[in-house]
Amino acid sequence: MKAFLSIVLLLGGVRAFSQPTQPSQVHYPQESHLKNVRQLTFGGDNAEAYWSFDGKKVSFQSNNKEWGLSCDQIFYMPIEGLDLSAKGTKAPLVSTGLGRTTCAYFLPGNKSILFGSTHLGGNECPKDPGRTPGGKYLWPIYDTYDIFVSDLKGKVKKQLTKTPGYDAEATVSPKGDKIVFTSTRNGDLDLYIMDINGKNVKQITNEIGYDGGAFFSPDGKKLVFRASRPKTEEAKKEYLDYLKQGLVAPTEMEIYTCNVDGSDLKQITSLGKANWAPFYHPNGKKIIFSSNHKSTRGFQFNLYMINEDGTGLEQITYDGVFDSFPMFSPDGKKIIFSSNRNNNGTRDTNLFVAEWVD
């Protein structure tokens, strides 16, 4: 997902949406589900932090210039014991340091991490298209993205995808047996599932539109994901024309679920604007996600939670600019997310961890 940073970062960056935040605070009084909120990173765009299976570490992507980065690379850090606010302190690098990366996720055993990277397509950071004057904000879908596995020392152990086109946004089932990812191998942005070793690839979605950012339910039987579904012939043509250029406009997306074989596809939200970065609540009956549907100008994203049947929408976070990429720890006691809060008037997006209160 790159990050809205996987979406604003994949697809090219939170920076197009974020504005300098207002009050510098880590926790807002209305955020009753969050307790003991703690900031983990301090500078740059940090996003898509996903827990290890033992709940002791997180993988994430960052473009922190103080770490010598030109664009996003993959790092990991322990939840306790590493103070990144200390000058000169840096999280361990997992990716190659070349190209652009996105969407890192621990594999079972907590000793290796998979991620998407463009490094086989070149050492430099591929360019973002950004927004043309008066035009739509566009995300790049780089056809040089493939999915790799690295150990925690940054040694690439395996390349899981080798098909031409975009392969990224991979996450792992809590059962440790399957990987879901997004690919353009059929000419559209659809979801695919493969075994943990990269074999037995199967297409899961097949409707025109961008299907991405998928995660498994706690029991490993379902998927939750974001999707655009152009309805008119004109909208479909525009979507496909952009895709041929390696671009997508991520401003209209809703949350969907389906079984891991693609059956029982359901649209969960109908809120309008951009609804994305969904993740199942530990009880498997609710979904937390990021949305700007209440924003008049479009750049304010907050976390919301909704029942799996589309009822009971509840606002969870209240930052004035950007909250996204929520993920519950394996034991369900903590949540990690990215936010523009407490960034001292900059456009930095940092990681925050909190105790979860139901």
Judged against a pLDDT cut of 60, whether residue 208 lies above it is answered with yes
Q: How many CB atoms lie within 10 A of CB 100?
A: 30
Judged against a pLDDT cut of 60, whether residue 234 lies above it is answered with yes
* Residue 357 included in any domain: no
Total domains, the chain: 1
* Residue 27 included in any domain: no
Judged against a pLDDT cut of 60, whether residue 8 lies above it is answered with no
Confidence of residue 134 (pLDDT cuts 50, 70, 90): low
Confidence of residue 348 (pLDDT cuts 50, 70, 90): very high
Residue entry with tokens 């004109």 = 234
Q: In whole angstroms, what separates CA 21 from the centre of its chain?
A: 21
* Residue 210 included in any domain: yes
- The C-alpha atoms of residue 332 and residue 282 are separated, in whole angstroms, by 5
Q: Are the C-beta atoms of 103 and 3 separated by less than 8 Å?
A: no
pLDDT in tens, 13-40: 333 344 444 557 999 999 999 999 999 9
* Beta bridge pairs of residue 46: 62
* Residue 65 included in any domain: yes
Q: Are the C-beta atoms of 115 and 103 separated by less than 8 Å?
A: yes
For range 283-302, the mean pLDDT = 93
Element (H, E) at 225: strand 222-227
**Distances from the Cα of 39 to the Cαs of 84, 265, 341, in angstroms?**
9, 37, 10
pLDDT in tens, 44-93: 999 999 999 999 999 999 999 999 999 999 999 999 999 999 999 999 99
> First vs last Cα of the chain: how many Å apart?
28
Q: Which one-letter DSSP state was computed for residue 14?
A: G
| Residue 23 CB-density burial (10 A; 0-12 exposed, 13-18 middle, 19+ buried) | exposed
Query: Beta strand pairing status for 73-78 and 57-62?
Result: antiparallel
* Residue 78 included in any domain: yes
The whole-number pLDDT of residue 133 equals 59
The whole-number pLDDT of residue 14 equals 37
In 3-state terms, what secondary structure has residue 234? helix
* Beta bridge pairs of residue 334: 355
The whole-number pLDDT of residue 262 equals 98
Q: Is the backbone of residue 173 left (phi > 0), alpha (psi -120 to 50) or beta?
A: beta
Taking the CA atoms of residue 347, residue 348, residue 350 and residue 356 in that order, the dihedral angle to the nearest 10 degrees is: -20
Q: In whole angstroms, what separates CA 87 from the centre of its chain?
A: 28
Q: What is the CATH number of the domain that holds 220?
A: 2.120.10.30
Ranges of beta strands (E only) in 89-172 are: 101-106, 112-117, 139-140, 146-151, 156-159, 167-172
Q: Which domain range does residue 125 map to?
A: 14-20+50-301
| Residue 334: both structure tokens together | 């903590």
pLDDT in tens, 158-187: 999 999 999 999 999 999 999 999 999 999
| Residue 237: both structure tokens together | 């043509």
* Residue 285 included in any domain: yes
Judged against a pLDDT cut of 90, whether residue 196 lies above it is answered with yes
| Residue 327: both structure tokens together | 């993920």
The whole-number pLDDT of residue 45 equals 97
- The C-alpha atoms of residue 342 and residue 90 are separated, in whole angstroms, by 20
- The C-alpha atoms of residue 214 and residue 168 are separated, in whole angstroms, by 11
* Residue 99 included in any domain: yes
- The C-alpha atoms of residue 90 and residue 82 are separated, in whole angstroms, by 9
Which residue from 271, 307, 277, 272 is spatially nearest to 289, judged by alpha carbons?
277
The whole-number pLDDT of residue 136 equals 79
* Residue 225 included in any domain: yes
Element (H, E) at 112: strand 112-117
* Beta bridge pairs of residue 351: 338
234 phi, psi to nearest 5 deg: -65, -45
| Residue 235: both structure tokens together | 């909208």
Q: Which one-letter DSSP state was computed for residue 283?
A: T
